[in-house]
Amino acid sequence: MIRSMPAGILLALTSALCFAAAGALQHSATRTIALDAGPPSGVARWMPVLGFASRVLSHPVWWLGLGGNVLGFFFHSTALHVGSISLVQALLCVQLMFALPLGAWRTRMPLLARDWIGTASTCVGLVVLVAARGAVPQTLSRTHLVPYVAAAAATLIGLFIGLARLFHGRVARTALIGTAAGIGFSLSAVLIVVCTDLLVHGGLFQHWPVYALAGSGVVASILAQDAYASGSFPAALTTMSIADPLFSAIWGAILFDATRPTTAMSLGSMALAGSLIALGVGLLANSPTVAPQT
């Protein structure tokens, strides 16, 4: 499996820019429609966005955001084919940094100290991750474990959706659904790696991962839209941006890393990188610059 870390980084950053613009557009459309919708009923009590899905699908701004997602998916898939899944998924966190100048321009406010701290923390975390795992050789010799990873991810998604049903607070429910969406996107990343390899070698549609990829993508997207619709954009963005690279690193270590992180040094480096990235994401996603309080 051919890997190129510089190419993977460049493509991942490009996809992050596309996803940042798409997320802002789709959150704007979905949240506006959610505010006009009545109380959910039936199956919509579990997933309120399903109650006004037809209105979301008829909103032109939402479709503009979908176009950004499609473009981002192209760059993202290519990045996963040439780069490490742990690194590529972690680099998606920089979409929060792309939101900073837009937020500062919109609010006519200078960047806050927390914005600089959050940016520095995320960047340092990514540097540590690159140094620790970015150059680890990748392998596809363990793809027989993909069904077990998919089953584990599906179980976790179901668990977080079930927990969200028990919480009526907006932020708590959004955080749980956002976490489920992040796990869904991490599973999609795993399946993209497998499918792009199948595409190179031919016979893509003869194998089950391509259909599982379509299913996981749809589920993760619905969960993301539901998290956006609930109103707490910082909570949705924070949990998705942390859960996706966290679980991608776990799946990647199990499936694709030729050398698994078993030494104290490698495990400690990954823990440090994850902590720094989580701190940076939390500061940025909850910053008034990115998501002004209403």
Give 112's DSSP letter.
P
* pLDDT classification of 46: cutoffs 50, 70, 90: low
The two three-digit tokens of residue 204, written as one number: 């893509």
User: How far, in Å, CA of 194 to CA of 40, rounded?
Assistant: 38
Structure confidence at residue 283 (pLDDT): 81
Structure confidence at residue 105 (pLDDT): 66
Mean pLDDT of the residues in the chain: 80
Tell me phi and psi for residue 257, to 5 degrees: -70, 120
In the chain, which ranges are continuous DSSP H helix?
Answer: 5-36, 53-57, 60-82, 85-91, 95-107, 113-129, 146-166, 170-201, 209-229, 233-255, 264-285
- The string of DSSP codes covering 128-166 is HHIIIIIT--B--TTGGGHHHHHHHHHHHHHHHHHHHHH
Average pLDDT over residues 170-185: 87
Find the angle CA(128)-CA(130)-CA(134) to the nearest 5 degrees.
Answer: 145
The two three-digit tokens of residue 129, written as one number: 């991750």
Give 51's DSSP letter.
G
Return the domain boundaries, the chain.
5-285
Given a contact cutoff of 8 angstroms between Cβ atoms, the answer to whether 49 and 161 are in contact is: no
**Measured between alpha carbons, how far is residue 57 from residues 73, 139, 215, 225 in Å?**
19, 39, 18, 11
Given a contact cutoff of 8 angstroms between Cβ atoms, the answer to whether 235 and 175 are in contact is: yes
Structure confidence at residue 159 (pLDDT): 94
Structure confidence at residue 294 (pLDDT): 37
Given a contact cutoff of 8 angstroms between Cβ atoms, the answer to whether 107 and 248 are in contact is: no
Given a contact cutoff of 8 angstroms between Cβ atoms, the answer to whether 14 and 75 are in contact is: yes
Average pLDDT over residues 240-247: 83
pLDDT digits (tens, 9 = 90+) for 81-119: 887 887 888 887 777 777 667 666 666 777 778 878 887
Place of tokens 């976790």: 156
Burial 29-49 (b: 16+ CB within 10 A, else e): bbbebbeeeeebeeebeebbb
Average pLDDT over residues 23-42: 74
User: How far, in Å, CA of 20 to CA of 237, rounded?
Assistant: 10
Burial class (CB in 10 A: 0-12, 13-18, 19+), 110: exposed
Q: Which residue has the higher pLDDT, 278 or 109?
A: 278
Given a contact cutoff of 8 angstroms between Cβ atoms, the answer to whether 182 and 19 are in contact is: no
* pLDDT classification of 185: cutoffs 50, 70, 90: very high
Q: Is the pLDDT of residue 1 over 60?
A: no
- Residue 100, sorted as left (phi over 0), alpha (psi -120 to 50) or beta, turns out to be alpha
* pLDDT classification of 186: cutoffs 50, 70, 90: very high
* pLDDT classification of 293: cutoffs 50, 70, 90: very low
Q: Is the pLDDT of residue 232 over 70?
A: no
Q: Is the pLDDT of residue 216 over 90?
A: yes
Least confident of 114-118, 128-132, 238-242, 253-257: 128-132
Find the angle CA(136)-CA(139)-CA(142) to the nearest 5 degrees.
Answer: 130
Find the angle CA(3)-CA(125)-CA(255) to the nearest 5 degrees.
Answer: 40
Q: Is the pLDDT of residue 45 over 70?
A: no
Q: Is the pLDDT of residue 169 over 70?
A: no
Least confident of 70-79, 136-145, 157-166, 208-217: 136-145
* pLDDT classification of 137: cutoffs 50, 70, 90: confident
* pLDDT classification of 44: cutoffs 50, 70, 90: low
Q: Is the pLDDT of residue 156 over 90?
A: yes
Percent of the chain surpassing pLDDT 70: 84
Least confident of 15-24, 90-99, 266-275, 285-294: 285-294
